[in-house]
Amino acid sequence: MSAHDPRALPTDDVVVLDTVKGRLPNWWHMPLALSIFALIALAGFWLGAVPGHDSTFTIARESMFTDMGVPQKISMPAQATSLVLGLLLVALAALVWIVQAKNFTWPRGTKGLVQVVFGVLWAFDFLVWAVAGQALDLGYLLQATLALAVPLVFGALSGVLSERAGVVNIAIEGQLLLGAFGAALVGSMTGSPWIGMIAAPVVALLIGALLALFAVGYHVQQIIVGVVLNVLAIGLTGFLFGTLMKQDPEHFNTPMRLPNLRVPVLSDIPVIGPALFDQNILVYLMWVIVAVLTTALFWTRWGLRVRAVGEHPLAADTVGINVAKTRWSNVLLGSAVAGLGGATLTIGTNVAFAKEMSAGKGYIALAAMILGRYHPVGAMCAALFFAFATALQQNLGILSSSLPPDLHKATVPSEFLAMLPYVVTLFAVAGFVGRVRVPAADGEPYIKQ
């Protein structure tokens, strides 16, 4: 019996060949990307660090924890720390090469965990290099990250609600803008930021209702409708701002802020305490909505119906699910959630309303939804990732302006800092998201037979 006879028993060589053929076509993408970033860290951050300078991080503020011995600041030699972190990154990249090349199966959740650990180590290595000779308050950095992430998270959740039901929601930008406008206007007229917070989702429902009317009711191309609604929101709020708010800001556009609700003891935890437990109601609502929406989408009958409509509306209709009603309700609910995100831009940050103040956050939220694979928790993590890049850019920009003369050559160029959030967004969506599975009927109109 010849070696090429199909009836022949497989030899060891044949088994190895089959294993190699069984690898995914793009198996090398992830290890190659990690290797490139590891080499950047090793060559750039270690070799580029100025010798003899320490990186200092503030991790705790004066509280019961510092009384118990927790240091307020920690310092570490920048060059030595960058070397250790760079070697760890190279080791992780090598591990991924071995696992992918040998076609080993990743234990459930391990692959994502490795990517998260790699990202955290790389970000910390970057911080150690960038902060050399300076001090950075990590607690403040996390607070800034969360403040920037809240509208993105609400916007991404709005997209998840709509697109899980099969309606493409490009209009998140307009929903955020109307939410910010409604919160500022009603809050100023009533003198209460709480009433402004309630008004924000109600005003944002205008965009949701129009999106549902044209996309679900009249089967208009959904992406075109979303873009047009964004333009409508920009024009409408710009007109009302110029004719109403700008003429009498004291009565129609007064800066105000929702009070912070501080949790005793927990808010004093080093690094994470102020960011998680000394925030306004909108931040706490964000955590609650993420948890409730995740549970509802994947553990309830309602969630099963929504996902069925987004995957196969004809089959859902066949078993008695009202496709149009489900899509209408999800689009409206999503627009209300986005309205809460818009409220954070005004009454959440003590800022008066300004024309086009959403500044593209709706599109970043859309990218976060895609990067998060249409899952509430994934969308939240992606939004936090984008917000961290922006907060880092702002904090490092402040540090760079006060660097001593011997460190000016090693500082991060201001042009690079300005483009950092957008570069991170492009790399994340294009290179690290992999093949995202979109709901099968997303963007497809359904006409009842």
DSSP letter assigned to residue 49: S
What pLDDT does residue 202 have? 97
**Domain final position from 66, 100, 133:** 133
**Domain final position from 108, 133, 158:** 133
Q: Are residues 157 and 302 in the same domain?
A: yes
The answer to whether position 410 is within a domain reads no
The answer to whether position 432 is within a domain reads no
Q: Are residues 34 and 158 in the same domain?
A: no
The answer to whether position 171 is within a domain reads yes
Model confidence pLDDT, tens digit, residues 330-365 = 999 999 999 999 999 999 999 999 999 998 999 999
Of 357, 348, 305, 349, the C-alpha closest to 329 is: 305
What pLDDT does residue 22 have? 57
Report the alpha-carbon distance of residue 391 to residue 147 in Å, rounded. Answer: 9
Q: Are residues 156 and 83 in the same domain?
A: no
447 vs 206, more confident: 206
Say which range, 10-19, 45-54, 299-308, 373-382, has the weakest mean pLDDT. Answer: 10-19
| pTM of the complete model | 0.87
DSSP code per residue over 284-332: HHHHHHHHHHHHHHHHSHHHHHHHHHHH-HHHHHHTT--HHHHHHHHHH
Q: Are residues 60 and 124 in the same domain?
A: yes
The answer to whether position 7 is within a domain reads no
Helix, strand, or coil here: 219?
Answer: coil
**Domain final position from 66, 98, 133:** 133
Q: What is the average pLDDT value for the chain, to the nearest integer?
A: 86
Q: Are residues 152 and 212 in the same domain?
A: yes
What pLDDT does residue 184 have? 96
- Containing structural domain, residue 184: 141-390
The answer to whether position 284 is within a domain reads yes
The answer to whether position 12 is within a domain reads no
What pLDDT does residue 6 have? 42
**Mean pLDDT of all residues in 108-116:** 83
Q: Please enumerate in sequence order all residues whose Cβ is within 8 A of that of 163, keeping only pairs 6 or more positions apart, or say none.
A: 169, 310, 369, 374, 438, 439, 442
Q: Are residues 160 and 282 in the same domain?
A: yes
Pairing of strands 54-58, 73-77: antiparallel
Q: Are residues 108 and 146 in the same domain?
A: no
Model confidence pLDDT, tens digit, residues 226-280 = 999 999 999 999 999 999 999 998 899 999 999 999 988 888 888 888 889 989 9
Q: Are residues 204 and 223 in the same domain?
A: yes
Please report, for the domain that includes residue 293, its CATH number: 1.10.3470
What pLDDT does residue 280 have? 93
The answer to whether position 224 is within a domain reads yes
The answer to whether position 286 is within a domain reads yes
Q: Are residues 114 and 152 in the same domain?
A: no
pLDDT band at residue 2 under the 50/70/90 scheme: very low
Cβ proximity of 180 and 346 under 8 Å = yes
What pLDDT does residue 414 have? 60
pLDDT band at residue 3 under the 50/70/90 scheme: very low
What pLDDT does residue 229 have? 97
In the chain, how many domains are there? 2
Q: Are residues 124 and 146 in the same domain?
A: no
pLDDT band at residue 399 under the 50/70/90 scheme: low
Q: Are residues 163 and 100 in the same domain?
A: no
Cβ proximity of 445 and 215 under 8 Å = yes
Q: Are residues 101 and 237 in the same domain?
A: no
Q: How far is CA 88 from CA 95, 107, 346, in A?
A: 11, 21, 42
What pLDDT does residue 12 have? 39
